[in-house]
């Protein structure tokens, strides 16, 4: 059950005990992540960041996590400006980067790229999202955010809304939440509903997810409302996108029906899915959720690199 040297490609790479261990360790990281305490746990260590598609939030969050632990960062840079533009294979890029670093974080538009990277690298690889595939640190920070506020997952009523088909983050989060005992409701236009495979996984984990097109009817019973952006870039067909964009919008009017302790989450960036008027309500937890990326990634970096904190 040791983490040292481990690749984190999918949330399924982690046992339930390991997930618990990350969440507990993350809690301990909070004052360091806030800059209230300072650590040199990863002094002398180098993190290589490889973002084959832009993800400012994830990149800055990993950078901040590494720096809060005293470590350094080297970045591959924009792919069109790098050796990739000279025709280098991903395997060769990885074998180059691993000699300059102690751990690699990779984001890639192609599903399976992170697994490939892990196979070619002798240094640990953390998947920061690969296409429609996995994004395990997002799942961990989502779990951490919910548990910090709600204490327990069991019997928690979690409503997921938006693009549940292409929205990468909801798939592994749904599976994990279900295995931890939460009840799930999936709200999406029919064309963007949760993939059958994920529904099956949720059921296998013991859940009985409800599927619907209507957000309003789910609000009153929700403990957690997890909103996702309907991302234009995930749609092969623009016409399909335009039909569903803006179908759900969380605003104060909608939240009037909600429990007073409902929390609203979003992996960000948002566009129109959550009205800025919600930001000042006690429901809004998406900025706290973004912050939680730092202690969770600190915990992971620390565990994988064997830092003492």
Report the interface residues with its own copies, using CB under 8 A: 35, 38-39, 43-46, 48, 54-57, 59-61, 63-64, 67-68, 70, 72, 74, 76-78, 81-89, 91-93, 95-97, 99-102, 229, 231, 268-271, 276, 287, 290-291, 294
CB nearer to its own copies: give 78 or 220. 78
> φ and ψ at 246, to 5 degrees?
75, 15
> φ and ψ at 302, to 5 degrees?
-65, -45
Please report where in the chains the tokens 């548990």 appear, as a residue: 147
Minimum gap (Å) between residue 4 Cβ and its own copies: 14
226/157 Cα distance (integer angstroms) = 11
Minimum gap (Å) between residue 65 Cβ and its own copies: 9
CB nearer to its own copies: give 160 or 230. 230
CB nearer to its own copies: give 91 or 220. 91
Residue 49: closest CA among 142, 116, 140, 129: 129
**The dihedral sign for the CA sequence 229, 230, 231, 234:** positive
Minimum gap (Å) between residue 33 Cβ and its own copies: 8
Minimum gap (Å) between residue 197 Cβ and its own copies: 27
222/146 Cα distance (integer angstroms) = 13
34/57 Cα distance (integer angstroms) = 16
225/172 Cα distance (integer angstroms) = 16
Minimum gap (Å) between residue 255 Cβ and its own copies: 19
Chain-centroid distance, C-alpha 295: 13
**Exposure class string for 26-50: b at 16+ Cβ within 10 A, else e:** beebbebbeeeeebebbeebbbbbb
CB nearer to its own copies: give 17 or 233. 233
Minimum gap (Å) between residue 278 Cβ and its own copies: 12
CB nearer to its own copies: give 27 or 92. 92
CB nearer to its own copies: give 47 or 225. 47
């Amino acid at each position: 059950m040791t983490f040292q040297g481990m690749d984190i490609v999918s949330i399924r790479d982690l046992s339930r005990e390991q997930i618990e261990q990350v969440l507990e360790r993350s809690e301990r990281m909070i004052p360091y992540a806030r800059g209230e305490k300072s650590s040199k746990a990863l002094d002398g260590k180098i993190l290589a960041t490889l973002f084959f598609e832009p993800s400012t939030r994830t990149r800055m969050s990993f950078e901040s996590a590494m720096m809060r632990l005293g470590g350094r960062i080297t970045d591959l840079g924009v792919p069109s400006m790098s050796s990739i533009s000279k025709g280098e294979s991903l395997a060769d890029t990885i074998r180059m980067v691993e000699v300059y670093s102690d751990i690699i974080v990779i984001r890639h538009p192609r599903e399976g790229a992170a697994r490939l990277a892990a196979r070619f690298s002798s240094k640990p690889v953390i998947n920061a999202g690969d296409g429609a595939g996995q994004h395990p640190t997002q799942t961990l920070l989502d779990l951490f955010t919910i548990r910090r506020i709600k204490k327990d997952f069991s019997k928690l009523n979690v409503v997921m809304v938006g693009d549940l088909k292409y929205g990468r983050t909801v798939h592994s989060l749904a599976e994990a939440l279900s295995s931890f005992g939460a009840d799930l409701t999936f709200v999406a236009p029919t064309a963007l509903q949760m993939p059958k495979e994920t529904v099956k996984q949720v059921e296998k984990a013991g859940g009985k997810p409800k599927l619907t097109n209507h957000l309003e009817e789910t609000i009153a019973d929700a403990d957690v409302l997890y909103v996702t952006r309907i991302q234009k870039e995930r749609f092969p067909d623009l016409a399909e996108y335009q039909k569903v964009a803006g179908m759900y919008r969380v605003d104060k009017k909608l939240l009037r029906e909600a429990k007073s302790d409902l929390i609203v989450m979003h992996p960000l960036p948002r566009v129109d899915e959550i009205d800025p008027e919600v930001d000042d309500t006690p429901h809004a937890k998406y900025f706290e959720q973004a912050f939680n990326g730092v202690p969770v990634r600190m915990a992971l970096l620390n565990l994988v690199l064997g830092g003492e904190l």
